[in-house]
Structure 1
Amino acid sequence: MEQNPYTPSSAAFESNKSENKSGVFKILKKIFIGIGIVFVVIFALLVWAGFSTNKVYKKFEHTAEPFINDFLTEQSPWDYEKSKPYLSKAWLDVTADGDGKKLFTFFNKLGAFKSVDSIEWQGCNSSKHTSYGSIQRCNYVVRASYEKGPAAILMGLSIELEEIKVVQLKVNSDVFMQ
């Protein structure tokens, strides 16, 4: 007596459908839980990155702008030898003196330095390097006026022995196109 004679024949078919639906819902539930966990992990990483960036930025907050102004004022005209006290050990290790002199001679096409128009903070990070240990770095875009035209200067600054140093320098200007 497997079947109840009082149950219509369609009842067995409907119970199979409900079992299939519950299996689909179980799978969907697992998928949504997995997606939720991924979002929680991403959110936690973003919060951690925000706190890390803020911690590094505080070290640069009041000293980066005066350092940038001093560096650019000192570089009128651009002189690699005069810039060395401002450059990081990482820069000096990877840049030969001849290459540094060529680069700074090229920057002299801008003419005499006039003023810093704006300094925009771009972001900070902290990382570990096998040769240099922990590196705390902030990037700034400096808009400056020179005798022959304006320039946008990306400066990567790092802290080395409790002093700010230039680790990256990229100068863009239409003057170089002439």
Structure 2
Amino acid sequence: MSKTIARILVLSAALSAGFATAYAKNPVVGGAPMYASKNIVENAVNSKDHTTLVAAVKAAGLVGTLEGAGPYTVFAPTNKAFDALPPGTVDTLLKPENKAKLTKILTCHVVAGDELSAAVKKMAMSAGGEYDLKTVGGCTIKAIDKGGKLTLTDENGGVAHITVADVKQSNGVIHVVDKVLLPKM
């Protein structure tokens, strides 16, 4: 009987280690695991911290693009980041008549390519600590490495911090940010 219990314990430990390894490979964002085998939209819809971003992507008609082959790097603002905008801003942007403005704001959070944080830091360091990222929306975001912490500065001087970096997707990578990056308008 004790050999059977020992085998069960060994098997249980092995399975637990396997589950822990699988779980570690899928970072959790907004309470949901992000799977590298899924695309940006498939993962984002499961994050409770990105419901506003998902609603905005839908309203702007960008779902098909962000489900596409990419690769894309998305700086994904949290709900709290959207909540920090002036009252009524999000509701106004989600209206159909403001689709162009919303699209501009959202595409200023997207860079063509698969830019992991280490590569962005390296580019910033090789350029004196600051590197200009060109977005698909035509904006320039300044990536700044300050003591190993990567920040992003928008065209208006607003600074976003990357709170979760390098969330790999099947069509790119997501970096969670704590501020909405705004283009000059």
The TM tier, using the shorter chain, reads: under 0.3
- TM-score, normalization by structure 2: 0.26
Structure 1 or 2, whichever has the larger Rg, is 1
- TM-score, normalization by structure 1: 0.26
Q: Which protein is richer in helix relative to its size?
A: 1
